[in-house]
Amino acid sequence: MSLRLLTAASEHAGPVIDVGAGQSRLADALLAAGWSDVTVLDVSAQALAAVTQRLGQHQAALTAVVADLLTWQPTRTYQAWHDRAVFHFLVDPGDRARYLGTATRALAPGGLLVVGAFAPAGPTHCSGLPTARYDTAGIAQQFAPAFTLEHSETERHVTPAGHIQPFTWVALRRRQ
């Protein structure tokens, strides 16, 4: 889902950031699909070290940033932002406001923001933490007026344990 949404609505030439990346293989897929400037951001240095090591010869196209997204200050802009693991954990309105501010500063005008979050029927807790759940209108409202909705989809994600987690995915465009 992540790669398809990014590829469908974004140019491969621009820099892309995956926030809350962990050990995800999205960076591998982005590089294989033609992106040449990929940043992965996560609080876990160990997870990002594993990604960097796994990518081997493609490391030159990868930047790993160990940081808490809520306190991170972007030093450059990106054409695309991807998040499948952070936004639904932000149950505090102040944290969501910080997230929005960071995303707005990090994305160039016209840039693409792809977010996957638990859908209304999704879990109320994940990994022992409370979660927020959203439908398309709910996510779009969180990012308005700085972003406009371009596309949305729902997904029935199957966890490694075989549980179904409904997700709402959105592609939002940063206003000019």
Q: What CATH number has the domain bearing residue 14?
A: 3.40.50.150
Measuring CA to CA, which residue among 166, 167, 87 is closest to residue 131?
87
DSSP 90: -
pTM: 0.95
Q: Is the pLDDT of residue 65 over 80?
A: yes
Give yes or no for a contact between 79 and 15, defined as CB atoms under 8 angstroms apart: yes
- Work out how many domains the chain is built from and give that number: 1
59 confidence band (pLDDT: 50, 70, 90) = confident
Domain span holding position 86: 2-174
Question: What's the pLDDT score for residue 85?
Answer: 85
Q: What is the mean pLDDT of residues 1-16?
A: 86
Q: What is the mean pLDDT of residues 96-115?
A: 98
